[in-house]
Amino acid sequence: MKHFYHLSEFNYEQVQSLVNRAIELKANRDLVDLKNRQVGLLFLNPSLRTRCSFEVALRQMNCGVSTLDAQSLWKLETELGAVMDQDKSEHVREAVGVLSRYFDAIGIRAFAQGVDRDQDLLDQTIRTFMENSQSPVFNMESAMYHPCQAMADLITIQELLKTFSKKKITITWAYHPKALPMAVPNSILLASTLMGMDVTLAHPPAFEIHSGILDMAENHAKKSDGSLRIVNDRLAAAEDADIIYAKAWGGMSSYEDKEQEEAQRQAHKDWIVDSELMSKSNRGLFMHCLPVRRNVVVSDSVLDSARSVVLQQAENRLHGQKAILEWIFS
């Protein structure tokens, strides 16, 4: 069964090959015909880019698509072993068992719940899907990973910088009024180290990335001849960077103490990507997965500048996902 869960399940050559194929498919939208296969997209959380880019990609590849929102389904229970005597009518185990008898592949979006840290680290909802599905499952953002976003990010970097090796990317934490999930920072960190980039991860001390993800990133960097350094100074982190990649995420150490986590976040409102920070870089590109809060995460002056490539990243979701779907059905 070819599930598409996260990019670290692939090696350097396989990811490079997917990136190259996506760029070919961007140049010629008629290269792939999926022959009326049927794909279900199940969104347990909101989406603009992922939903629209998958629907358009599938239709352009001659594939049927049904999009399902949590609001229009029976209320789903995701916990294993739950006593279902409250308001949730259907367990995801039956739901995926049924859906995978209709669809040739199923995409699932299931964010971290942000309540129980260890539970979110298990990434249980998408794992339950993969374990109970008779057809391939692909990850449209789970608690831990957003590989379709990382694929679009790599395509954009290849298009603009021509190579990954030794290019300097700074992945910087940014202030946000909510504690956001870690799927995007985990995924760009793993993808950039996998491809041999020189990676600087910048965040205030209370906002470490989970140690399991850092270990994977260190291993990637060793194998790919890239590098990883972690700094707590936002301006120093930007020095000589070819790319400034901004993302907000919630504190891992105070995950279950909402008041403490919020206080730690509020203390770092100065972590915004602005013109001063960009001026430290090597005429760096500005990247963000979107949606982004203007003048909180990034200033208008940066987001509206020629250095901002966020719309190219979003466009490349379409082409990267075509390459992923072709791989799933090959």
> Considering the rule CB under 6 A, would residue 122 count as an interface residue with ligand CP?
no
What residues form DSSP beta bridges with 76?
A: 90
| Rounded Cα–Cα distance for residues 99 and 102 (Å) | 5
| Rounded Cα–Cα distance for residues 227 and 194 (Å) | 10
Closer residue to ligand CP in complex, CB, 120/141: 141
Cα–Cα distances (Å) from 158 to 74, 139, 141, 257, 269, in that order, read 42, 23, 22, 40, 32
> Considering the rule CB under 6 A, would residue 311 count as an interface residue with ligand CP?
no
Residues 179-208 interacting with ligand CP (rule: CB under 6 A): none
Peptide bond into 181 cis (omega under 30): no
> Considering the rule CB under 6 A, would residue 316 count as an interface residue with ligand CP?
no
| Strand pairing category for 168-173 and 243-247 | parallel
Closer residue to ligand CP in complex, CB, 25/151: 151
The count of residues in the chain is: 330
Closer residue to ligand CP in complex, CB, 18/206: 18
Q: Which of 1, 31, 48, 82 binds ligand CP (CB under 6 A)?
A: 48
Quick one: which segment of 20-28, 43-51, 164-172, 301-309 binds ligand CP (CB under 6 A)?
43-51
CB of 294 to ligand CP, least distance (A): 16
Whose tokens are 């005429």? That residue is 283
Give me the 221-260 binding string for ligand CP, x by CB under 6 A, dash otherwise: ----------------------------------------
Residues 56-115 interacting with ligand CP (rule: CB under 6 A): none
Closer residue to ligand CP in complex, CB, 48/115: 48
Closer residue to ligand CP in complex, CB, 139/264: 139
Instruction: Name the nearest CA neighbour of 228 among 185, 208, 207, 198.
Output: 198
| Rounded Cα–Cα distance for residues 326 and 330 (Å) | 6
> Considering the rule CB under 6 A, would residue 49 count as an interface residue with ligand CP?
yes
**CA distance between the termini of the chain:** 11
| Rounded Cα–Cα distance for residues 104 and 66 (Å) | 12
CB of 290 to ligand CP, least distance (A): 5
> Considering the rule CB under 6 A, would residue 139 count as an interface residue with ligand CP?
no
DSSP state at residue 74: P
Contacts of 236 (CB under 8 A, 6+ apart): 280
| Rounded Cα–Cα distance for residues 22 and 29 (Å) | 10
Q: Which of 112, 289, 324, 325 binds ligand CP (CB under 6 A)?
A: 289
Quick one: which segment of 61-69, 230-238, 267-275, 285-293 binds ligand CP (CB under 6 A)?
285-293
| Rounded Cα–Cα distance for residues 285 and 307 (Å) | 5
Q: Which of 31, 80, 84, 290 binds ligand CP (CB under 6 A)?
A: 290
CB of 314 to ligand CP, least distance (A): 7
CB of 152 to ligand CP, least distance (A): 8
Quick one: which segment of 13-21, 193-201, 237-245, 288-296 binds ligand CP (CB under 6 A)?
288-296
Q: Which of 50, 187, 316, 321 binds ligand CP (CB under 6 A)?
A: 50
CB 78 within 8 A of CB 124: yes
CB of 191 to ligand CP, least distance (A): 14
Backbone φ and ψ of 90, nearest 5°: -135, 135
CB of 307 to ligand CP, least distance (A): 19
| Rounded Cα–Cα distance for residues 233 and 172 (Å) | 10
Q: Where do contacts with ligand CP occur on this chain (CB under 6 A)? A: 47-50, 141, 149, 289-291
